[in-house]
Amino acid sequence: KAKEAGRARMTLYDPAMDADRGERNALELDLRMAIEGGDLQIAYQPLIDAATHEMTGVEALVRWNRPGHGPVSPEVFIPIAETSGLIEALGLFVLRKACETAKQWPELRISVNVSPGQFRNPAFADYVRYVLKQTEIEAKRVTLEVTEGYMIQNPQRTRQAIERLKALGVKVALDDFGSGFSSIGYLRQFGFDRIKIDRSLVMDILESDRQREMLQATVALARSLDIPVTAEGIETEEQAIAVRLFGCDTLQGYFFGRPMPADQITERLMQARAAKVTTRRTNAA
């Protein structure tokens, strides 16, 4: 009996839970200061043309080096930003910074992730328009990546939000397709410009027939709706070859490049330009 009572009390008051909450509050506070101080970094990961293996774009991925703790994964702090009202400021920072940075790479497209918390705001399209104007980037070079979570709950508002964004001239991509509750219906009704197949679907295609068939079916579905497909999480050359055969036109993954600082992207671009000039000369000779 005493033991039971003790256990019941434990569920009411658990010091470990207090510690968790304390740590979470501290993290939230640090994150708030990082956003206000502009102390977030952005890494850029190459997006690769499947046919030529040329870099045709980059995805902006936010990075946070928490003082006294080291790097924190966006998988950890994005959900916290979402629930603590920080996501709009964070998202605006990333969008503006990424667009500004991408201006020095005229041959590249720039992809930016958008959280449901931003997307949900009816004024979101307005602030995207404002950032486009401010940074003077061509709208058609910008892709906003959204995940499906919110769409299932609010298909009507999602459709409106996507329409408003597309009216600005930006592209809208469905991110992490195949990781959750994805359905054919969404692909049809929302008018996405592109879908990105989640890494979990790409991971085992060479080892597992079932995984390969799932991936093939998913790509075939998108293609039947005329939606171009990016494969995420390409880590080997074999995977790159396979997903291209299945119909993905854009590839992304460690095999082609990890997320990296902007100047490394610039370096790559300069190398690519130099290689092109050399090829042209050789062909002419």
**Dist CA 244 CA 30 (whole Å):** 43
- CB-CB neighbours of 112 under 10 Å: 24
CB 170 within 8 A of CB 143: yes
b/e sequence 230-248, b meaning 16+ C-beta within 10 Å: bbbbbeeeebbebbbebbb
Give the nearest distance from C-beta 198 to Mg ion in angstroms: 6
Residue by residue, DSSP assigns 114-164 as --HHHHTSTTHHHHHHHHHHHHT--GGGEEEEE-SHHHHH-HHHHHHHHHH
Under rule CB under 5 A, residue 113 binds Mg ion? yes
Give the nearest distance from C-beta 194 to ligand C2E in angstroms: 13
Strand partners, 173: 145, 194
Under rule CB under 5 A, residue 30 binds Mg ion? no
CB nearer to ligand C2E: pick between 175 and 249: 175
61 binds, among Mg ion, ligand C2E, none (CB under 5 to 8 A by kind): ligand C2E
Distances (CA, A) of 270 to 50, 96, 103: 20, 24, 15
Under rule CB under 6 A, residue 62 binds ligand C2E? yes
Binding mask 114-153 for ligand C2E (x = CB under 6 A): xx-----------------------------x--------
Residue by residue, DSSP assigns 58-85 as EEEEEEEEETTTEEE-HHHHHHHHHHTT
Under rule CB under 6 A, residue 172 binds ligand C2E? no
Give the nearest distance from C-beta 266 to ligand C2E in angstroms: 19
Per CB under 6 A, the list member of 30, 88, 175, 249 interacting with ligand C2E is 175
* Terminal C-alpha separation, the chain: 92
Under rule CB under 6 A, residue 89 binds ligand C2E? no
Q: Which residue is nearest to ligand C2E (CB)?
A: 253
94 binds, among Mg ion, ligand C2E, none (CB under 5 to 8 A by kind): ligand C2E
What residues make contact with Mg ion under the rule CB under 5 A?
A: 113, 145, 175-176, 232
What residues make contact with ligand C2E under the rule CB under 6 A?
A: 45, 61-62, 73-75, 78, 91, 94, 113-115, 145, 175-176, 199, 232-235, 252-254, 259
